[in-house]
Amino acid sequence: MRDLAEKWSVAPDWQNATIDVPGLKIGSIPGLHQRLVSGDLAALAEASGFDGTAVGAFGPAEGIRYTVRLARDRLLAVSTTPIGMATGWFPQEFAVTEISAGLQVFEVEGSALDAFIARGTTLDPGQPSASAALSFAGVSAIVYRHEDRLRIHVDRGLAAYLWMWMEQAAGHIAAGD
């Protein structure tokens, strides 16, 4: 029988994977706690202490605990420490789903960050939008700024593809293409 696994890119060791070229450094961010929240976001803010307003595409998130807007009634809660909120449906009309294992997170920094963004999307990085969910490098991703760096959350199944794309984009940017 034919080995179909040979078609797929081998995922790097995300703990140690880095791309480092002049003006650009890219790495994986392991261990973030991520929860998808849908429903009444004002009720979530009241019940959990997470801000229901959230940042959109290229918007600035700060600290160890923040929210990222995905749609009018959906956000991603992100924290470096355990979130401490149960999952499931809440009587206040919102639902919380654990999604940490489903999303791979990358962080990009450097003086060539705007050139990198320009290769990934047609959106203007100087104009934050309401939603951080967008098409980046041809895949659906969640993209925002975190303390002067770009963070990209992508479905784990697409992470190896996005990594290869980032390697190629970084190489072109370093070469001045």
77 in the same domain as 42: yes
All residue ranges of the chain with pLDDT < 70 are 1, 4-5, 8-9, 51-52
- Token reading at 9: 């890119």
57 in the same domain as 120: no
Number of domains in the chain: 2
pLDDT score recorded for residue 9? 67
Tell me, yes or no, whether 65 lies in a domain: yes
Identity at 161, one-letter amino acid code = Y
In tens, the pLDDT along 84-130 reads 889 999 999 999 999 999 999 999 999 999 999 999 999 998 888 99
Handedness of CA 36, 84, 89, 42 (dihedral sign): negative
107 in the same domain as 26: yes
- Token reading at 100: 């940490």
138 in the same domain as 119: yes
Tell me, yes or no, whether 9 lies in a domain: no
- Token reading at 20: 């480092």
Q: Tally Cβ neighbours within 10 Å of residue 5.
A: 7
Which domain does 81 fall in, by range?
A: 33-98
108 in the same domain as 63: no
167 in the same domain as 82: no
pLDDT score recorded for residue 176? 85
SS3 of the chain: helix, strand, coil, percent, to 5: 25, 35, 40
Identity at 35, one-letter amino acid code = R
> Looking at 48, 65, 98, which one is the last position of a domain?
98
> Looking at 49, 66, 98, which one is the last position of a domain?
98
Tell me, yes or no, whether 8 lies in a domain: no
pTM for the full predicted model = 0.92
CATH of the domain at 108: 3.30.1360.120
- Token reading at 158: 């697409």
